[in-house]
Amino acid sequence: MKKAVFKQIDGNSINYWMLLALLGSFALAAVGAHFYMEHGGHYVTGMNNQIVWGLPHVFAVFLIVAASGALNVASISSVFNKTAYKPLAPLSTLVAIALLSGGLMVLVLDLGRPDRLIVAMTVYNFKSIFAWNMIFYNGFFLIVGIYAWTMLQRNLNKYSRIAGFTAFIWRLALTTGTGSIFGFLVARQAYDAAIMGPMFVVMSFSFGLAIFLLIVMATYKWTDRPLGDATFNRLKNLLGVFVAGVLYFVVAQHLTNLYATEHHGVEAFILRDGGIYTQLFWYGQIIMGGLIPLALIYHPTTGKSRTAISIASILIVLGGLIQMYVIIIGGQAYPLELFPGKEVSSSFFDGVVNSYSPTLAEALLGIGGFAVTLFMVAFAVKIMKFLPESLADEAVDPHHSK
């Protein structure tokens, strides 16, 4: 196998600058949405005292989880020593850092008092999984940053294995921690489950790789660099395994809940009677985000088509966002069980299914997270050598025969 040659993209075309301008304007729109929400208060959003976490959190948690997953390719190359993945490992670290930046931006800009971020950075309550996550997120930037450095600077290459291994352990902890934000909520019927941690890890594998694959396909197509079938097939087959893995965890989560009578109420709500949440679960999360992508990836015809795999990846991303919506919003929409076996009513919406209508500002803030991520990637590949010149089969596969 030839040593991969890394080179910046030219980035001189009108299209490139148009892309940056488009992403930049979405990022600016998100900042605008933030000021709009902060100026008068959160009353301009659809969030309330029942649905306390809304659309921004759906996007933020999705992006943070995907950040860890985008590191898949780098982890496989360094930790499991698969040379075929090596050429894409630096890009993998870049996408991971960019996704985490986008996600954290959304999360922070939705805080009631984002001006007090310094408090969150300096005062820690170590019993809070949120505080742990702040350490996980900051550490992720540092560790993955160092990892990228060891790969990009030749005389540091010898340290990339250990850096990669550290990053691998760290990212697993990070996603487990993010899932545990929900897993540790003892009082809510929809959460309070240990499976949340590992489920979020597998979700990260799937969402992160789908975004990574889309970025690779788009970049190589737009820059006229060769992307061989060997790399493409490896990545898409791996993606298929992860999508199936997510479905497995979802089945396990709901089957466990269905066995326990105390969870029948919330299960009936999500799976059967929850209106929009039930529809989102079955049509959005399971069919659109799981079964259709699986079929596209493994069908002998569509599995070979780049277009079909792009569509599958986009569906996985959309399905992932919907899954987050069902978990975060659906979980809060279902009323708290204050008095099991009794009907409850009050002026504070006890005992009723809570309603939530997201506003444009929340959507713009969330989409801005994606825009910031993609802007960072598009800009970084122009100024730094993250991308191999060629991912043609003969360049990446030592056993490739023409």
Partner 1 sequence: MSNSNHTNTYRRKFLAQSAAVAGLAIAPGIILNQVAHAKSDADKASSANRWGMLIDTNKCNKGCTDCVTACKTENAWGAGETHSSEEQQAQWIRKVTITDKQTGHVQSLPLMCQHCETAPCVDVCPTGASMKREDGIVQVDKHICIGCRYCMMACPYKARSFIHEKLELQKPTAPRGIGTVESCNMCAHRVDKGQDPACVEACSNAQHGAMLFGDLKDANSAISIELKKHGGEQIRADLGLNTGVRYQGL
**Helix or strand (DSSP H, E) at 368:** helix 360-383
Task: Write out the two tokens for 208.
Answer: 């992160």
| Rounded Cα–Cα distance for residues 265 and 326 (Å) | 15
Nearer to partner 1, 22 or 360 (CB): 360
117 binds partner 1 (CB under 8 A): yes
260 binds partner 1 (CB under 8 A): no
Tell me how far, at minimum, the Cβ of 214 lies from partner 1, in Å: 31
Tell me how far, at minimum, the Cβ of 366 lies from partner 1, in Å: 16
Secondary structure (3-state) at 6: strand
Of residues 121-150, those binding partner 1 (CB under 8 A):
123-125, 127-131, 134
Size of the site for partner 1 (CB under 8 A): 51
Tell me how far, at minimum, the Cβ of 324 lies from partner 1, in Å: 15
Q: Please name the residues in contact with 157: beta carbons below 8 A apart, sequence gap of 6 or more.
A: 150, 151
Name which position in 19, 20, 146, 185 contacts partner 1 (CB under 8 A).
Answer: 185
Task: Write out the two tokens for 80.
Answer: 């499991």
Please tell me the number of Cα atoms within 13 Å of 326 on its side-chain side.
27
**Which residue in 15, 7, 143 sits closest to 74, CA to CA?**
143
Name which position in 12, 158, 186, 260 contacts partner 1 (CB under 8 A).
Answer: 186
Tell me how far, at minimum, the Cβ of 348 lies from partner 1, in Å: 4
Name which position in 12, 155, 261, 347 contacts partner 1 (CB under 8 A).
Answer: 347
Nearer to partner 1, 113 or 399 (CB): 113
Name which position in 3, 155, 300, 343 contacts partner 1 (CB under 8 A).
Answer: 343
Please tell me the number of Cα atoms within 13 Å of 27 on its side-chain side.
17
272 binds partner 1 (CB under 8 A): no
120 binds partner 1 (CB under 8 A): yes
End-to-end CA distance of the chain: 14
| Rounded Cα–Cα distance for residues 372 and 313 (Å) | 20
Which residue has 């506003």 as its token pair?
Answer: 359
Q: Answer yes or no: are the C-beta atoms of 239 and 217 closer than 8 Å.
A: no
Nearer to partner 1, 43 or 300 (CB): 43
| Rounded Cα–Cα distance for residues 374 and 358 (Å) | 24
254 binds partner 1 (CB under 8 A): no
* CB-neighbour burial class of residue 338 (10 A; exposed 0-12, middle 13-18, buried 19+): exposed
Q: Please name the residues in contact with 313: beta carbons below 8 A apart, sequence gap of 6 or more.
A: 210, 211, 213, 214, 217, 239, 293
Give bridge partners of residue 6 from the DSSP assignment. 388
| Rounded Cα–Cα distance for residues 303 and 200 (Å) | 26
Site string for partner 1, 293-332 (x = CB under 8 A): ---------------------------------------x
Of residues 16-45, those binding partner 1 (CB under 8 A):
38, 40-43
Tell me how far, at minimum, the Cβ of 336 lies from partner 1, in Å: 6
359 binds partner 1 (CB under 8 A): no
194 binds partner 1 (CB under 8 A): no
14 binds partner 1 (CB under 8 A): no
53 binds partner 1 (CB under 8 A): yes
Nearer to partner 1, 47 or 227 (CB): 47
- Give alpha helix (H) positions in 88-155: 89-109, 117-122, 129-152
341 binds partner 1 (CB under 8 A): yes
Residue 28 has φ and ψ, to the nearest 5°, of -65, -40
Nearer to partner 1, 14 or 348 (CB): 348
288 binds partner 1 (CB under 8 A): no
| Rounded Cα–Cα distance for residues 86 and 78 (Å) | 8
Nearer to partner 1, 224 or 348 (CB): 348
Nearer to partner 1, 112 or 275 (CB): 112
184 binds partner 1 (CB under 8 A): yes
13 binds partner 1 (CB under 8 A): no
394 binds partner 1 (CB under 8 A): no
Residue 139 has φ and ψ, to the nearest 5°, of -65, -35
**Which residue in 193, 188, 194, 196 sits closest to 334, CA to CA?**
188
Binding site for partner 1 (CB under 8 A): 38, 40-43, 47-50, 52-53, 111-114, 116-117, 119-120, 123-125, 127-131, 134, 181, 184-188, 332, 336-339, 341-350, 354-355
